[in-house]
Amino acid sequence: VMGYPCALGMATPLAMIKGGGIAAQKGILMRSGEAFQAFKDVKKIILDKTGTLTVGKPKVIQVITYNEYDELSLLTIAASIEIGSDHPLGKAIVDHALTQNADLKPVEEFQTITGHGVRGMIQGKEILVGNSRFMVEEGVIISEFEEKIKNFENQGLTVIVIAENNILAGLIAVGDTLKDDAKEMIELLHEEGFETVILTGDNWRVANTIAQKLGIKEVLAEVLPQEKAAKIRELQAEGYKVAMVGDGINDAPALTQADIGIAIGAGTDIAIESADIILVSESLKGILESYYIGKSSYSKTRQNVALAFSFNGIGVITAVMGIVHPIWAMIAMALSVSAILLNSFGSRSFIKSQRLKRKNNHKNH
């Protein structure tokens, strides 16, 4: 009777059930055992930029035309091409063009060049829409606008370049807004000892501008979607346990590769399916709360296992020595299961108090 392993078998699942329940109340879905067990060992948190640190709803800030194009005609060809793209920047251009009553044109031979831009044919003319790297690779001369591009990027704006038949047609500067809680959460993550890193396909100037605003010291920019998982592997090879936070299709491989993948609930389905943790809201505070929940659940698991081994270990020895009567052995085993249940569900988790304590200390400073 004293060797019955019921309490030991309940130790881990009950702690995870308790943690999962607390997480659900806070709008967090913990989808795997790693979400509970591995988060405590994470040292680096990698953050995607668009849709994770920013609101993910970029807007056109300025349009600069070149050659015979005026603003409406430039927006028309850019939006006509971008309407076939699912990228947030492309959607921003389309939305802006429609507000200007642009008459979008039919597009032939549409093609997406991942991490660079899009291309297509409009009325027999090849239109390229993308970043400056894309234009340089295609032989488009943009030297005349390089200073303007640099100035926009130093403001944290992403510059979309448009070319017609490999001749520069103009620029569209697009900006996104940082989430209200982004800076505060980065500071709190740093207080907990995490190192934060921005991982983005955007250029270095834009990424560094965002990083400086948030107090993030490490930046990995101009990373193509297919290269993001490789960057995670490089960090893991250096001995880091890594958490990745993202929301887009491009982030899915990196979310899978990371020790802990965290998806923003408003993100794409494939990103959500690839993650260990899903934050239902778009707020970043769920990252820190997930950490507290995982840490607390792991602590509860250790306590439960210790309780179970204590009852079983001491009980078996005393039973073998004839000290414990069988009736008391049955009572002891019932008590061991009750102790595990009470420890898992009866005591209030320290998650909320720790989080509020840190947040209040932060505000007081």
Stretch 270-280: mean pLDDT, rounded? 83
Q: By mean pLDDT, which of 137-146, 188-197, 215-224, 291-300 is the weakest?
A: 291-300
Cα–Cα distance measured from residue 254 to residue 201, given in angstroms and rounded to the nearest whole number: 13
Rg, Å, the chain Cα set: 27
Q: Look-up: residue for tokens 């980065």?
A: 186
Average pLDDT, the chain: 84
CATH superfamily of 28-55+181-285: HAD superfamily/HAD-like (3.40.50.1000)
Dump pLDDT digits (tens) for 46-68: 999 888 899 888 999 999 999 88
Catalytic site positions: 48
Identify the residue with better confidence: 357 or 240.
240
Rounded to 10 deg, the angle between the 285-320 and 326-341 helix axes is: 170
The token duo for 82 is 């971008």
* Predicted pLDDT of residue 93: 95
Q: Give the integer Cα–Cα distance in Å for 17 and 336.
A: 18
Pick the CATH number of 59-175 from 3.30.450.20, 3.40.1110.10, 2.40.340.10, 3.20.20.140: 3.40.1110.10
Give the residue extent of every domain in the chain. 28-55+181-285, 59-175
User: pLDDT at position 260, please?
Assistant: 92
- CA gap 119, 125 in Å, rounded: 10
Tens digit of each residue's pLDDT (9 = 90 or more) over 114-168: 888 999 999 999 999 999 999 999 999 999 899 999 999 999 899 999 999 999 9
Q: Identity (one letter) of the amino acid at 113?
A: I
Beta strand segments in 131-191, E: 158-164, 167-175
Q: Is the pLDDT of residue 353 over 50?
A: no
Task: Classify strands 218-220 and 28-30 as parallel, antiparallel or unpaired.
Answer: unpaired
Chain centroid, CA 244 distance in Å:
6
22: confidence class by pLDDT, cuts 50, 70, 90: confident
Give the model confidence (pLDDT) of 198-211 as tens digits. Answer: 999 888 999 999 99
Q: In what order do the strands lie in the sheet with 260-264?
A: 28-30, 277-279, 260-264, 242-246, 44-48, 195-199, 218-220
Asked whether residue 280 carries a pLDDT value surpassing 80, the answer given is yes
d(CA 42, CA 238): 13
- DSSP reduced 3-state for 122: strand
Residue 158: helix, strand or coil by DSSP? strand
Instruction: Tell me the pLDDT band of 172, cut-offs 50, 70 and 90.
Output: very high
Task: Band the pLDDT of 230: cuts 50, 70, 90.
Answer: very high
Output b/e per residue, 142-164; b: 16+ Cβ within 10 A.
beebeeebeebbeebbbbbbbbb
* Residue 24: pLDDT over 90: no
pTM recorded for the entire structure: 0.78
Low-confidence winner among 57-66, 93-102, 179-188, 279-288 (lowest mean pLDDT):
279-288
What percentage of residues in the chain have a pLDDT greater than 90? Answer: 46
283-302 average pLDDT score: 84
Q: Is the pLDDT of residue 1 over 70?
A: no
21 membership: H or E segment, kind and range = helix 6-25
Confidence of residue 317 (pLDDT cuts 50, 70, 90): low
Residue 351 has pLDDT above 70, yes or no: no
Give the C-alpha separation, 362 to 53, whole Å. Answer: 20
